[in-house]
Chain A
Amino acid sequence: MKRVYVNEEWCLGCHLCEYNCAFAATGETDMAKALKGVTIHPKIQIEENNRISFAVSCRHCDDPICVKSCIAGAISKTDGVVHVDKSKCVGCYTCILVCPYGAVMPAPDGHAIQKCELCTDNACGEPACVKGCPNGAIVFEER
């Protein structure tokens, strides 16, 4: 199963992954039009301190604790991808509390959660963060 892996050694902390993620979610074709004046809510986020930086997104764990914790049965794992059904999500945020990676976050509307679904939930085809990373620090591969 191909997953998004992050190599801290090559992360520049440029935050382009966040913008590419947010752009992919809009479904627009022009990034300037899609993100101009907009506060972005990317599903991949850069953690940084001093000169260390790396991107964090859902690991699609083998035994995802978020799935177990979901009181509404909104999170499921199919074909290796941990998926959230926003129509079922009640916004209790239990998954956000239990995720050891901090990879689940509230969706911008505040009524549900959002997380990386490897761009299977948009028209991007392959993960936008990987495609846009200028230094090969985020890869999408089988390990």
Chain B
Amino acid sequence: MAINYNIPEYDVLRDPQRCIACRVCERQCANEVHSFDPDSGTMKSDESKCVNCHRCVALCPTHALKIVKNPDTFRLNAYWGQNDISEIYRQAETGGMLLSSMGNPKPYPIYWDKILINASQVTNPSIDPLREPMETRTFLGKKPGAIERNPDGSIKTDSLPPQLKLEVPILFSAMSYGSISYNAHQSLARAAQELGTYYNTGEGGLHEDFYKYGPNTIVQVASGRFGVHHDYLEAGAAIEIKIGQGAKPGIGGHLTGAKITDAVSRTRMIPKGTDAISPAPHHDIYSIEDLRQLVYSLKEATEYKKPIIVKIAAVHNVAAIASGIARSGADIIAIDGFRGGTGAAPTRIRDNVGIPIELALAAVDERLRQEQIRSNVSLIVAGGIRNSADVVKAIALGADAVYIATPALIALGCHLCRTCQIGKCNWGIATQRPDLVKRLNPDIGYKRLMNLVSAWQHEIMEMMGGMGINSIEAMRGNRLMLRGVGLNEKELEILGIKHAGE
């Protein structure tokens, strides 16, 4: 056997005083870390297989388990980190591209944490959301440029372009059936329906069981066109053209044949067991004019009743691209930042391509305002929203709403072990193995999602009230409500905010 140059990343610590050898850890670990030794009557572990998903820790009834960073190290080096060395060993062994999942975990600046929110004191009263009305409802879609009136003087309402009505400015971001499980999709769909918001099918089509959630569904059309047909387009409340994804801008997708089960194959309309490959570009889109053709093809197919979203990754010249999209006839632009998650992406792409969503959002909003086309489109931002404060900051920077996906998966049990690509998700989320999928009970899942979003809604209302603002509309683009800390002149200029103390 060849030498294994690498060391296990994590160590499994088992407290022998507490372990009762109930073997729950063994039964719950799809990576087969734990095993029972009948001779000694004790549990053993092979930490080299551990991905630190914490399933065993969470289910151990006596709290006998701990997963810790393996203290074993290569010789410490301020330049050659453990990960750098370890990845070279892996590539030298396999000759393959490194794959990763979920969002960029590298220590790039987090602008959300360098932005502070204002509050009212003395002269401008704050509002108590428990006692006074506080509006979190918002509408996404193209807004008319001027008020038109009927001959009798009343305001015309029938010419309003199609809108998405959100009770809370939070939508569940695109995650395809295939990359996540049936039960995860069902949890998202049911939660979206209960919350009065939307979830997004991702590029994998819509399972026949979920057509009933259509009024709360955004259906996606991506470069692979998986599962796209007339009924699918008709089923959704809006259609999203996916150009790019924050976790892997510039490249397509690859769902391995192992995940193309019977149901996934039917939903995606591709043969069972074949790899589902999304090309990097849409082969019919090489210009804004081409994009306009697809936007209008989809509008035509759905009789101009549904808003069209165009989703792009936040890249260097995102403002100019967004300006083009706003002129393409799209109703909503979704921008996905570099912290956005994925079910699988080349590690180098995930960790090095794209820009922070905070900067992209501020740049796009500013550019669209300068060009006086901001009301042509609504802006949804995605990729790295972690909590309700991030939502408030995003809206104050100019977003109409936010997409969340990683927080939704975390609510469903995801522990960000970032190994979705191997398809053995112990939490029943990023897997198609029936024995693992059943671990996510949607009856529990959708309630957890509802709890999360309701909690954020309450927090958003508290923060808005503190600022003396009682509606999302009044907070949108209200950058005076934000101040930067520890940011340089250029960063403040791009974000369009003042420094704290100014």
Which chain A residues have a beta carbon within 8 Å of chain B's beta carbons? 9-16, 19-20, 23, 31-32, 35-38, 51, 132, 134-137
Count chain B CB atoms within 10 A of each CB in A32, A37, A132 and give the residue with the most: A32
Provide the residues of chain A in CB contact with B444, threshold 8 Å.
135-136
- B59 A134 Cβ-Cβ under 8 A: yes
A13, A32, A36: the one contacting B27 at CB < 8 Å is A13
Q: Which residues of chain A are within 8 angstroms of B18 by Cβ–Cβ distance?
A: 32, 36
5 A–B pairs (Cβ distance < 8 Å), ordered by A: A14-B59, A16-B61, A32-B18, A35-B22, A134-B59
CB distance from A138 to the nearest CB of B (A): 12
Query: Could you say which residues of chain B place their CB within 8 Å of the CB of A19?
Result: 20, 22, 24, 61
> Cβ of B491 < 8 Å from any Cβ of A?
no
State the CA gap A19–B18 with chains docked (Å): 14
A32 touches B59 (CB 8 A): no
Q: In the complex, what distance in Å separates the CA atom of A134 from the CA atom of B17?
A: 24
Q: How far does the alpha carbon of A26 sit from the alpha carbon of B95 in the complex, in Å?
A: 56
A residues less than 8 Å from B41 (CB atoms): 37
Q: Report B-chain residues with C-beta under 8 Å of the C-beta of A20.
A: 61
**Are B20 and A9 closer than 8 Å at their CB atoms?**
no
* Contact yes or no, B24 A14, CB < 8 A: yes
- The answer on a CB contact under 8 Å between A9 and B438 is yes
Give the interface size bracket for B toward A: 20 to 34
Residues B27-53 near A (CB distance < 8 A):
27-28, 41
Residue B439 is within 8 A (CB to CB) of chain A in the complex = yes
List A contacts of B27 (CB < 8 A): 12-15
Does B64 belong to the interface (CB within 8 Å)?
yes
Describe B's contact surface by its main secondary structure. loop
For residue A38, which residues in chain B have a CB less than 8 angstroms away from its CB? 20
Cross-chain contact of A32 among B17, B58, B438 (Cβ < 8 A): B17
Q: Do A16 and B24 touch (CB < 8 A)? A: yes
Task: Let me know if A10 and B61 touch, CB within 8 A.
Answer: no
**Could you say which residues of chain A place their CB within 8 Å of the CB of B434?**
51
Are A12's CB and B20's CB within 8 A?
no
1/0 contact string of B434-446 vs chain A (CB within 8 Å): 1100110101100
Residue of B nearest to A52 (CB): B435
A residues near B24, Cβ cutoff 8 Å: 14-16, 19
Chain B residues near A135: list those with CB within 8 A.
Answer: 438-439, 441, 444
- Which residues of A have CB within 8 Å of B23? 15
Q: Roughly how many angstroms separate A31 CA and B17 CA in the complex, as a whole number? A: 11
Determine whether B62 belongs to the interface, using a CB cutoff of 8 Å to chain A: yes
B177-212 CB mask vs A (1 if < 8 Å, else 0) is 000000000000000000000000000000000000
Q: Which residues of A contact B64 (CB under 8 A)?
A: 32
User: What 10 pairs between A and B have smallest CB-CB spacing?
Assistant: A32-B18, A32-B62, A35-B20, A10-B441, A135-B441, A19-B22, A51-B435, A136-B441, A31-B62, A14-B24
Q: Are A12 and B62 in contact (CB under 8 A)?
A: no
Give Cα A135–Cα B443 distance, bound, in whole angstroms: 9
> Please, how many angstroms separate the alpha-carbon atoms of A31 and B22 in the complex?
11
State A105–B105 Cα separation when bound (angstroms): 53
B61/A12 in contact, CB under 8 A: no
User: Closest CB-CB distance, A25 to chain B, in whole Å?
Assistant: 14
Q: B20 near A31 (CB under 8 angstroms)?
A: yes
Chain A residues closer than 8 Å to B61, beta-carbon distance? 16, 19-20, 23, 31, 132
**What residues of A have a CB within 8 angstroms of the CB of B58 in the complex?**
134
CA distance A51 to B439 in the complex (A): 12
- Chain B residue nearest to A9 in the complex (CB): B438
